[in-house]
C-alpha cells in the first residue's frame, strides 16, 4: 500500500510503503525455497523486539514450535519460536540493535 511518493531535488524517487520489508519476508516464505531467521536484540531501542513480534503476528503464520527459551553454556541466550514455511524468530538476550557486535 503506497502512502506517499517523493521526488528529491537531485532526481531521487522514493515511494514509502506502509508494509516496510514485511512483504519481502512473506514473499520469501511463500516461495518455500529458503529457511529464514529473523533475530532481534532484546535491548534494541531502534527496532524493539515487540515491534518485530507485531509484524510477525500480523502475517498470521502457523506456529510449529512454541515460544521457548534457548541457552548457551547454561546461560539464557534468548527466546525462539518457529513457524511454517521455514521461518524462525529469535531474540538475543542482552544484545542491542547491532546483535553481531554485542
Considering the domain boundaries, does residue 99 fall inside one?
no
Instruction: Please report whether residue 28 resides in a domain.
Output: yes
Instruction: Name the band, by pLDDT with cuts 50, 70 and 90, for residue 3.
Output: very low
DSSP string, 24-82: HHHHHHHHT---EEEEEETT-SSS-HHHHHHHHHHTTPPEEEEEEEEEETTEEEEEEEE
* pTM, rounded to two decimals: 0.76
Range(s) of the domain holding residue 31: 21-92
Flag whether 40 is in a domain. yes
Residue 36 domain-assigned?
A: yes
Pairing mode, strands 36-41 and 87-92? parallel
Count of domains for the chain: 1
Structure confidence at residue 75 (pLDDT): 94
Residue 52 has pLDDT above 70, yes or no: yes
Q: What's the CATH number where 41 sits?
A: 3.40.50.11320
Amino acid at each position: 500500500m503506497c502512502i506517499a511518493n517523493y521526488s528529491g531535488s537531485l532526481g531521487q524517487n522514493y515511494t514509502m510503503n506502509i508494509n516496510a520489508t514485511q512483504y519481502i519476508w512473506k514473499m520469501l516464505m511463500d516461495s518455500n525455497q529458503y529457511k529464514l531467521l529473523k533475530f532481534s536484540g532484546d535491548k534494541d531501542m531502534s527496532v524493539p523486539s515487540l515491534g518485530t513480534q507485531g509484524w510477525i503476528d500480523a502475517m498470521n503464520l502457523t506456529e510449529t514450535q512454541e515460544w521457548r527459551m534457548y541457552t548457551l553454556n547454561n546461560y539464557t541466550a534468548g527466546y525462539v519460536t518457529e513457524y511454517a514455511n521455514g521461518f524462525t524468530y529469535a531474540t538475543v538476550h542482552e544484545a542491542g540493535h547491532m546483535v553481531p557486535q554485542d
